[in-house]
């Protein structure tokens, strides 16, 4: 198997290297990739959409159809993870571990039995380590600032590198940080699973809904200049605002998918213990 793999990899490599003889030189301004459509995008973006970041304008406006389906792909991936892994258990059938806070004694409670409800016992994971005050406090302090930065990245995507995807991933990472530094149960209590799934779909609906609204107002699907009548501005500014609305939808969808996939993978679907 190793020899077959080595032969396949080497022969494909040699074929590809022999094909590089036809490639344009490195960083050539006159290469075919840079001559047909991209000068139009570079020169006309400012006067047609008034968005300085060319990549955001092309991604959300000129190629908005691709981005809508990409958001749908992200949602489908989160859904696939959920369908593959999630197990719904009614009660808690396995042995649970509790720790008496004052003395540090660990108590194992068998299935079906219950402890009297009191504040002295706290539920711990099977891989419990003594909580580190520094990490918990610093993560609790940092998470709001991380979310603020993520919202800045989404909102400032018109003028600086950034946009919907990046901001959405950073928002998702902030909730994953909460789950890692404290407990998966804490993070699930803050961001419930049902809210997560519904918000993920809402993100895709915002994107497709903006396109449908443009269709209802008389122009083509995802032609944002139709929003000029709803937003009371000229068509160029309407396109800029349409890009912002669509990026918000993408950001929401990506955030919820990252949280969803992490919750399912790190607890193998049972939502009881995390990393």
Partner 1 sequence: MGDLIQIVVAKYNYWIYITLMMIGLYAMIVKNNLVKKIVGMNIFQTAIILFYVSTGAKRGATIPILEHGHGEHGAGAHMIHAVDYINPLPHVLMLTAIVVAVATLGVALALAIRVYNRYDTLEEDEILAQIREK
Partner 2 sequence: MIWQLDLAILTLVVIAGIAAITVKDLLGAAILFGAYSFMMCLLWSIMGAVDVSFTEASVGAGVSTVFFVAAVFRTTRRTKD
Residues that bind partner 1 (CB under 8 A): 1-2, 4-6, 8-10, 12-13, 16-17, 20-21, 23, 25-29, 31, 33-34, 37-39, 41-43, 45-47, 50-55, 58-59, 63, 66-67, 70, 73-74, 76-78, 80-81, 84-85, 159-161, 165, 236, 254, 257, 261, 264-265, 268
Q: Which helix (H) or strand (E) holds 80?
A: helix 64-85
Q: Is 55 in the site for partner 2 (CB under 8 A)?
A: yes
Rg (CA), the chain: 25
User: What phi and psi values does residue 113 have, to the nearest 5 degrees?
Assistant: -85, 165
Burial bucket for residue 270 (CB in 10 Å: 0-12, 13-18, 19+): middle
Listing DSSP states for 122-161 in one string gives: EEE-TT--PPPHHHHHHHHHHHHHHHHHHHHHHHTTTTSS
CB of 169 to partner 2, least distance (A): 4
8 A C-beta contact, residue 99 and residue 105 = yes
Q: Could you give the angle at the alpha carbon of 193 between the alpha carbons of 204 and 130, nearest 5°?
A: 130
Among 161, 186, 229, 234, binds partner 2 (CB under 8 A): 161
Q: How far apart are the first and last CA of the chain?
A: 36
Question: Binding string to partner 2 for residues 212 to 251, with x set by CB under 8 A, is what?
Answer: ----------------------------------------
The site partner of 173 among partner 2, partner 1, none (C-beta below 5 to 8 Å per kind) is: partner 2
Q: Which does 97 bind (CB under 5 to 8 A by kind): partner 2, partner 1, none?
A: none
Partner interacting with residue 245 (select from partner 2, partner 1, none; CB below 5-8 Å by kind): none
Binding residues for partner 2 restricted to 167-186, rule: CB under 8 A: 169-170, 172-173, 176, 180
Among 31, 34, 137, 268, binds partner 2 (CB under 8 A): 268
């Amino acid at each position: 198997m190793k020899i077959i793999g080595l032969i396949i990899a080497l022969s494909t490599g040699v074929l590809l290297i022999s094909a590089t003889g036809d490639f344009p030189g490195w960083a050539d301004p006159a290469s075919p990739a840079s001559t047909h459509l991209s000068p139009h995008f570079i020169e006309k973006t400012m006067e047609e959409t008034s968005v300085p970041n060319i990549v955001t304008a092309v991604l959300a406006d000129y190629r908005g159809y691709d981005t809508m389906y990409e958001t749908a792909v992200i949602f489908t991936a989160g859904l696939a993870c959920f369908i593959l892994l999630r197990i719904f258990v009614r009660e808690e059938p396995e042995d649970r571990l509790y720790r008496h806070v004052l003395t540090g004694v660990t108590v194992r409670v068998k299935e079906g039995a219950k402890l009297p409800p009191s504040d002295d016992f706290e539920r711990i994971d099977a891989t419990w380590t003594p909580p580190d005050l520094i990490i918990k406090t610093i993560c609790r302090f940092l998470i709001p600032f991380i979310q603020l930065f993520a919202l800045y990245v989404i909102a400032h995507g018109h003028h600086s590198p950034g946009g919907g995807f990046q901001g959405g991933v950073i928002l998702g990472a902030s909730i994953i940080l909460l789950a890692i530094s404290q407990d998966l149960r804490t993070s699930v209590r803050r961001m419930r699973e049902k809210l997560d799934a519904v918000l993920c779909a809402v993100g895709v609906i915002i994107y497709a809904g903006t396109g449908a609204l443009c269709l209802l107002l008389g122009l083509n699907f995802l032609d944002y200049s139709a929003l000029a009548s709803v937003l009371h501005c000229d068509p160029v500014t309407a396109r800029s605002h349409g890009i912002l609305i669509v990026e918000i939808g993408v950001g929401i969808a990506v955030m919820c998918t990252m949280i969803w996939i992490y919750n399912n993978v790190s607890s193998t679907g049972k939502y009881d213990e995390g990393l």
